[in-house]
Amino acid sequence: MKTVADVRDRARAGVRDVVLDAAREVTLDQGWRAVRIGALATQVGLSRQSVHLVFGTKAQLGSDLVHREIDQLLTGIGAALDAHPGDPLACIREAATVTLTSMAENPLLQIIISGGGDEDLLALLTSRGDWILRQATELLHTWAARELPDVEPARIESMAEPVVRLCLSHGVTPTQPIPDAVDSLVRISCLLIGLPDPGP
């Protein structure tokens, strides 16, 4: 049986998603600086107070917007890692490709990276992006521990974070075409966990 708290939480979640969708739309059209909580409230048919109760401040709204985008990215990466059971090299290649392609093609992330958001939003992907590193590393580590039972846990531990760092770094500041970057990430991953070099 649903409690009053359950109903309230569902209502807040509904408000949150509607406002985040509106904020994303405005950011894509006009940039993050054009986002105003009062205007968003009017756009989605809510009171300003209702929106403030969910987000508090514009900074929190921006943080939640970026977190939601990255959560969706991580979901895609998780699916990629599970796409080729029994073939870890194919899984790593798929995950790296999904990561770099998604970051390159995601219009909101590209606006933020290119400076169309603001410094606080960019910092959530860079200088304050430890939360992304932590979640992505845990995702890769969990997959490797399950799919590579013959690899020593310490070796998996030493592989996961460096590979994630390299992948995210290329996603934010690409220095080579995605296929070349994917090849590099696959070879580095193999080297660190002791799998055969996949070759060129």
pLDDT digits (tens, 9 = 90+) for 33-56: 899 999 999 999 999 999 999 998
pLDDT digits (tens, 9 = 90+) for 119-172: 888 888 888 889 999 999 999 999 999 999 999 999 999 999 999 999 999 999
Q: What percent of the chain has pLDDT over 90?
A: 76
Residues in CB range of 119: below 8 A, 6 or more apart: none
Q: Give the CA count within 13 Å in the CB-facing half-sphere of 173.
A: 6
Contact criterion met (CB below 8 Å) for 174 and 158: no
User: What's residue 49's pLDDT?
Assistant: 92
In the predicted structure, residue 2 carries a pLDDT above the cut 50? no
User: What's residue 4's pLDDT?
Assistant: 34
Angle of CA points 175, 127, 19, to nearest 5°: 100
User: With bands split at pLDDT 50, 70 and 90, how would you rate the model's confidence at 198?
Assistant: confident
Residues in CB range of 173: below 8 A, 6 or more apart: none
Contact criterion met (CB below 8 Å) for 191 and 163: no
DSSP class of 26: H
In the predicted structure, residue 6 carries a pLDDT above the cut 70? no
